[in-house]
Chain A
Amino acid sequence: MMSPTPEQESLFKEWLGEHRGILVKVTRSFAVSPTDSADLEQELMLQIWASLPSYRRQAKASTWLYRVCLNTALTWHRGTARRERLLEPMADHGALASNGSSPAESAGDRELVDKLYAAIQGMPEFDRALVLLMLDGLAYREIAEITGLTENHVGVALTRARRRLASQMKGITDELE
């Protein structure tokens, strides 16, 4: 593994400022418990850091970051009890969700967002990734770059993912009601 250059280190800091949301969204979508969330977020940051030397600026930073984060999350092993914890958890689940959030955020929106994360966590892993990308408003071309699918196939897969999300949301809403 190559160590990032000072220029890449400053880029990393810049990304953590601009695109921290990607890490949070991926973490909340793939990790359930606060401990796992902290573990996964650190793993994401480590993978971004380790992959920086291979960043060629051919893709948008957000696309590249999504690619690294989703690959890491997909290959990240749950049941982290057997994983070595090198660092203490940086924040709990709740903190990640509310860290930096505005007090003006409506309770309704927050509730809906929590429901959405709950619905996403209940979906198959790849659908979670697709829904994340879809809700963030990425174009088919960008989603295709991240997933490696064709744009046509992205369209088909998104249709299926939307259907599943709707189903999941309906189920959650029904449960709450």
Chain B
Amino acid sequence: MNLNDYEGVWKRQELPVGSNADIASLVATFETKSRKLHAVVKVSDFAEAGAGFVVATAYAFFWWQMGRAGWPLAFAMALILGVTGFFLRERIRARRTRLGADAPMLEKIDADLRVLRRRCHLVRTLWVWYLGPCAGAIAIQVGLIIHRSPPWDPIREPAVFIGFCTFFALIFWFVWTINRRAVRKRLEPRIEELEKLRREITSDGEPHSTAGDPAGTSTDMTKYKIFFIAVPTALLAVFLLFWHLSSERHEADGARLSQLAAENARLRDENVKLARKIETMGHAVSLAGSPAPSATAAAPVRPAASNPASRQTVPLAGGLTPIEALGNAGRATARNAFATQLWAARTGDVALEASTITFGAEARARLEALAATLPENIRSEYDTPEKLMAFMLAGSPHPVGGMQVLGEDDVDANDVTLQTEWQHVDDPVVHQSDVNLVQDADGWKMVVPYSLVNRASDYLARTIAPPPAANPGK
């Protein structure tokens, strides 16, 4: 018999016509298988991708708990999410690569080989894309805990730390081992089987397939490493670094602003207190109606001669010599002593003024009586009747602006009367008076008349005397 005979017999073979298949049963089987497959896929997706999201969320929670100090956990999150992204990418890729059962046989075998070889390659490089990043994330977490924990924390104990590391090393070794076992027991035999089948098909000239060959996927693997682990991690690291620096700067600015705001508030409160104090003091001053006695007593009393109000405001009458032009003429003659006395009073030189004047007994007694009523500071500063009178003459609000000596009557060699004309700085009236001068061992001095001493004493007593005490009954 030849092949044609075989074909004839083959075509004549009686085959079942019609279906004895139970469609309902078939559909039920299909649905059951589909459900099981979907469940397996879902569990696998959750285990591979969902677990990554859960761990990353846990890291995010720890980061939130630790505040800004937990920023290294972002790198751990990036590593875990990188692994998750890689898983998802591989899953999507595998689903796209896998061909249906209705594909041509050779393409189907190539596609299956590609998927299997890819899986083998992934398992062989498990340290690169899975165990390595996971170990890195755990190392970051542990390092952060050790860095942040107090010295008595158990994890700082060498035994605990070694135990912790050993535990994770065993887990990683277990994962690595079971994956390697899966490659040896399941993937590699299946690949061999498909490769053998493909060799049978292509032994008559079809080119050898390199579908999914690890050598062919190494470039892909590098590309995945770059795009799914290195690039996102680097980008995230750069972002976090800038964010960290920026937030530090913002925090410093915020602290400085808070400090300034607190200082501003303190000064505002102080201003309010001072304003209230000033208001209270102003009210007290207005109630007193005059400077407080303590203030008068504390401040040294100065002559008013240098007061701008004592400047010459009215033109001097003809023939009068301005007092400023007289200067210190000394006391060698009566005329010189008179001129020196006026100039000293005009310029506020109390000591010089005191040296150019003297009194009669009655005037001296009046000044001594006045001195007894004055505050202690004034009394100690102007401790003689001459000084006290000189102070009053020098402090006159209406000083003499100009003068001239009209004549001189010599009573004796030590007693002279000068006929004088003089004018106040603020009054156009020219006064005429006789001025008595006497000579002692120091030279000539003007005898201040009692009327002037009495008037000046009354003025000083009114100006410096303490205010009347408040009525306690009111």
Binding site for B on A (CB under 8 A): 1, 3, 9, 12-13, 16-17, 20-21, 24-25, 42, 45-47, 49-51, 54-55, 64, 67-68, 70-72, 74-75, 86-87, 90-91, 96, 98-102, 105, 109-110, 112-113, 116, 124-127, 129, 134-137, 145-149, 153, 156-157, 160, 162, 165-166, 169
Contact = CB atoms under 8 A, between A and B. Distances in A.
Contact of A109 (B7, B9, B21, B204): B9
B3 interface: yes
B16 A71 contact: no
Contacts of B112: 75
A138 to B, nearest CB: 11
Contacts of B152: none
Q: Which of A1, A9, A125, A165 has the most CB of B within 10 A?
A: A1
A127 B102 CA distance: 19
A54 B27 CA distance: 17
B14 A101 contact: yes
A129 B29 contact: no
Contacts of B6: 112, 116, 135, 165, 169
Which has the most chain B C-beta neighbours within 10 Å: A45, A75, A124?
A: A75
B430 to A, nearest CB: 133
B32 interface: yes
A153 B106 CA distance: 12
B248 to A, nearest CB: 54
Interface of B: 1, 3, 6-7, 9-21, 23, 25-27, 29-34, 37-38, 100-109, 112, 197, 200-201, 204-206
Nearest to A119: B6
Nearest to B2: A166
B106 A147 contact: yes
Contact of B102 (A68, A125, A147): A68
B21 A68 contact: no
Contact of B17 (A17, A42, A74): A17
A99 B18 CA distance: 10
Contacts of A146: 104-105
A55 B102 CA distance: 8
Given A67-B102, A169-B6, A109 B19 contact: no
A87 B19 contact: no
Given A16-B19, A109-B13, 7 more contacts: A1-B38, A16-B21, A49-B27, A67-B102, A96-B16, A101-B15, A125-B200
20 contacts: A1-B34, A9-B23, A13-B23, A17-B18, A21-B15, A21-B16, A45-B21, A47-B101, A74-B109, A99-B16, A101-B14, A109-B9, A112-B1, A127-B200, A147-B104, A148-B105, A148-B107, A148-B108, A153-B204, A157-B204
A113 B102 contact: no
Contact of B205 (A3, A113, A156): A156
Contacts of B32: 86
B37 to A, nearest CB: 7
A105 B23 CA distance: 30
A63 to B, nearest CB: 10
Contact of A20 (B16, B31, B108): B16
A113 B17 contact: no
Which among B9, B12, B107 has the greatest number of chain A C-beta atoms within 10 A?
B9
Contact of A126 (B11, B19, B30, B201): B201
Given A99-B20, A146-B105, A166-B3, A113 B100 contact: no
B204 A160 contact: yes
Contacts of A153: 204-206
Contacts of B12: 105, 109
Contact of A42 (B29, B100, B205, B206): B29
Given A46-B33, A49-B26, A137-B7, A100 B17 contact: yes
Given A24-B16, A46-B26, A126-B197, A137 B11 contact: yes
A64 B204 CA distance: 25
Contacts of B15: 20-21, 24-25, 100-101
A165 B7 CA distance: 12
A-B residue pairs, 9 tightest by C-beta: A148-B104, A148-B106, A16-B19, A101-B14, A100-B16, A21-B15, A99-B16, A135-B10, A156-B204
B204 A46 contact: no
B14 A105 contact: yes
B200 A67 contact: no
A45 B26 contact: yes
A21 B18 CA distance: 9
